Structure 1
Amino acid sequence: MVSKAGCNYFLYVTLGLVALLMALFLSGCWDRREINELAFLSSMAVDLAGEQRILTYEFVRPGATGGGERGGGGTLPHRQATLRSGRGETLISACRQITTGLPRRVYLAHTNAVLVGEEMARQGLRELLDFIDRHPELRRTTLIMLTRGPSREVLIKAQGDIETTLGKEISGLRKWVQSSGYGFIPNVNDVFFDLTNGAGTTVLPVLELSPQPFPPLIGTGASSSSGGSRETGGTTGRVEEPRTVRTVRLNGAGIFYHDKLVEWLDKYQARGWAWVRNKVRRAVLALRCQENNTKVAVDITEAHADVSVDMQGGQLQGKIKLRVEGELLEQQCNLDFTREEAIKSLESQMAARITAEISSALNQAKMVGTDVFGFGSALHRQQPELWRQLQGRWNEEFKKLPVTINVEAKLRRTGMTGRPWQPGAR
């Protein structure tokens, strides 16, 4: 029979061992990472040159403050970032080459965006998507975009005039670009979903350099006894010549079949695709006012599309139904758009313009047999048995698929006023 003292001794030993094990395995500092030892990645560019993969990293510059600086000589704005580039036969080897010249550990978890060069896109996104999905720090929420030509050219030459890094600029761009109707920026997870669903196609927006004027500065002059205008602080009022800053913008998109780039869309075709895929949040249509070749601007405030595939007379028939609502924001003529006939005419123009954009994008996609509009997915939902029969040759079926486009447009408001203002009118 075990004594009470023996039981207590056994209990104390057990508790001591448990505490020791907890101290060994539950320590909070075994994998610590000091911030001042990390290089935070903001964006990256991925290119292909022959058999070599080229990675260009944009790191947040340590201790960076604010945006670009302006000195007395009118210094152009610049990003608060530093760039590093490496190359190798694989993406990971290119990444490791960068680390050989970096005094900090690369930290990828805060990567905002990935830019894919044209050559890399034509070979295929498979390698890049695999690299992102396997890496423990990279996330599927990372934004992904396309460039015409090498993506490193855009990453290196872009000058940020609002945000401190190009990665932050792209993140901000994604929030507001859909208000134009021409832009959309997907993340890596969106691309995975598109390529593993239905026809296995996706669309990536194109990012390009966009030269913009840089505000001139008032030149500094020495004090003079001669007459002449002076500004406060000893300036002469001489204005320097305006200069140019290279910002970035979205312009068109690329069509991918499976993971390979096969065709381009211009900005109007990209918006035509976006109408059908419900990517348009707001858009502006410049339409004829039917008076001295003047224009009227309609702001689209709501748009919703449905895609379906029906069997009619033994043949598949694709259908696109789009409902849009808009508001009159500007007119250059004196036409009264409070009258019903004027409203109907404008609604007809709205529908015709949107139909033309959709038709142009549809023809471009049919030319390469790439169903980026979701007809294959619609057929899969509606008739799964028929889809299984056609899935293997759907790209050829899509080329000859007749599609009807029905756009219903409504002008809901005329802004804060009704009839147009005219000189002398009360």
Structure 2
Amino acid sequence: MKHSLNILFLLAAITFLTGCWDKRELTDLSLVSAIGIDKGENSKYVMSFQIVNPNNATGGLQGGQGGDRPPVTNYSVAGNNLTEMSRHASTKISRELYYSHTNLVVVDEELAKDEGIVKILDVFDRDTDFRSTATIIISHGNKAKDFIKALTPIDKIPSNKVNKTLQFTEKQLGEHMKTSVQDVIKCLTSQARHPIVSAFRLKGSPQKAEKMENVQSTAPEATVEADGLAVIKEGKLVNYLEGKTARGVLWLRNKIDRTYITLQLKHERHSVTYDVIRQKTQVSAKLKNNRPAISVHIDVEGDIGEIGVPVRLEDPKVLNHIEKMVSQELKKELKHTIDVVQQNKTDVLQFGDAVYRSYPGIWKKIEPKWSNQYFPDLDVDITVNAYVRRTGLRNNPNILNHKEGRS
């Protein structure tokens, strides 16, 4: 009896086994690592696919013909919508396009300005194979297909190079930000939040960038570089933020990890470098004259990275003076960033979220008018407390003091 029950149980369990009915062989798939979308000439769009060549993407140069082959292959297809282009790609590619490994979407600057990115993102949001965590960037000054074709040294897969660059520069410099397709979609569904997307530029000749000779050189003639933040409003590209203005956005959003601030000491510009090692930004909302206002409080800690003038860093008065200069310089930088985004009526600082958290009832009334009426005139109060934690191995720059004595 017990034996019969075991057999019956095993037979019942078989009905729940799915087997390999939906298997996909690697030899039948084209792994798409990046997608580029341009504005077409005779069609609405041009879609470019960066497809990984598995045999060439692993290991170093092996000599012979195999080592001279690129790690990726690129194809471009014209069409009136992204689904159409994906299907028509079958006329050029002998394998099924597989999007689960796609980690980069490149949008042409001209397309982002004229038509916007809403229709493009709708396709990616619906596709069951595509991962919405893929990074999205704007191709600044170049066609997306030229950017997609560019080969990169060190990182063999160009899409990986872009993602690693964004991760590294966000932590070390704070002027760029890694933004996913999912992040942009969330911002676009709000009337008060405006997405920011990192922009990249292809420096050098696009023709040379796609040649293997470019990456086999010790000094590549064409490179891809991060190039500021693109501001999106109502789904379209409206502006770029660069340098300290872009850094101010990340600072006010508490995204800064490491960066630096240069100061003027003894009437000599850039004579002190303050190396930021940690910071914390707190943004809160309050009511002022029955209107929303914002308070920003920042605590920043750093080390003395460089000194270009003779000073005695063991003197507490000197360090206190440097801390005050850091506070003043950072406050000035952040005020400039706020002025720029308020003039553009783009709340990339997400101050609206602070108002919503503190005053949800008021926010419900003002949300439709936030970007164009309330945000441009928003009163923002900034408080910065800076601290010098370390001065390096030497308190006194002996070399500079020696030169000062001789002169």
- Please tell me the TM-score bracket, short chain as reference: 0.7 to 0.9
Other-structure match for 1:29 = 20
* 2:399 aligned with 1:407: no
Hey, what does 1:92 align to over in structure 2? 83
Partner residue, 1:190: 183
Aligned match of 2:147: 154
Query: Taking structure 1 as reference, are residues 273 and 15 closer, same or farther at Cα in structure 2, changes over 3 Å only?
Result: closer
Aligned residue in 2 for 1:44:
35
Report the AA paired with residue 354 of structure 1: L
* 8 A contact 1:108–1:138 mirrored in 2: yes
Counterpart Cα distance in 2 of 1:374 and 1:126:
20
Distance 1:298 1:12 in 2: 73
Q: State the 1:381 CA deviation.
A: 0.8
Percentage of pairs with the same residue = 27
Counting matched residue pairs gives: 384
CA distance in 2, matches of 1:389, 1:16: 62
Residue 391 of structure 2 corresponds to residue 418 of structure 1: no
How far apart in 2 are the matches of 1:422 and 1:307?
43
TM-score by length of 2: 0.85
- Distance in 2 between the 1:314 and 1:89 partners? 50
Report the structure, 1 or 2, having the larger helix content.
2
Contact 2:262/2:270 (CA < 8 Å) preserved in 1? no
- 1:41 is displaced (CA, Å) by 1.0
> SS of the residue aligned with 1:137?
coil
CA separation in 2, counterparts of 1:277 and 1:363? 16
Code of the residue aligned with 1:194 in structure 2: it is C
In structure 2, relative to structure 1, the CA distance for the partners of 1:17 and 1:343 (3 Å cut) is closer
User: Aligned partners of 2:261, 2:392: CA distance in 1, in Å?
Assistant: 15
- Taking the aligned partners of 2:160 and 2:57, their CA distance within structure 1 comes to 14
Q: State the shift of 1:85 in Å.
A: 0.7
- CA RMSD in angstroms comes to 3.1
Larger radius of gyration: 1
Aligned residue for 2:110? 119
- Cα 1:79/1:335, change in 2 over 3 Å: farther
- Structure 1 position 60 matched with structure 2 position 52: yes
The answer to whether 1:316 aligns with 2:280 is no
The answer on whether the counterparts of 2:57 and 2:157 sit within 8 Å (CA) in structure 1 is: no
Q: Secondary structure at the match of 1:201?
A: coil
Q: Distance in 2 between matches of 1:335 and 1:78?
A: 56
**TM-score normalised by the chain length of structure 1:** 0.81
Give the superposition deviation at 1:292. 4.8
Amino acid at match of 1:256: I
Rounded to whole Å, the distance in 2 between the matches of 1:79 and 1:339 is: 58
Mapped partners of 1:345, 1:285: distance in 2: 14
Mark the runs of 5 or more structure 2 residues left unpaired by the alignment. Answer: 209-216, 403-407
Moved more, 282-291 or 132-141: 282-291
State the distance in 2 between where 1:187 and 1:281 align.
19
**SS of the counterpart of 1:245?**
coil
Q: CA deviation at 1:71?
A: 8.7
Identify if the C-alpha distance between structure 1 residues 415 and 88 changes in structure 2 by more than 3 Å, giving closer, same or farther: same
Q: In the TM superposition, what is the alpha-carbon distance from 1:291 to its structure 2 partner?
A: 5.5
Counterpart residue number, 1:358:
334
Q: Matched residues in 2 for 1:347 and 1:15: separation?
A: 75
Following superposition, the deviation at residue 168 of structure 1 comes to: 1.2
Do the aligned partners of 2:56 and 2:69 also contact (CA within 8 Å) in 1?
A: no
Q: CA deviation at 1:198?
A: 6.5
Whole-angstrom distance in 1 between the partners of 2:401 and 2:379: 54
- Matching residue of 2:136: 144
Q: Which amino acid aligns with 1:101?
A: K
User: Counterpart of 1:219?
Assistant: none
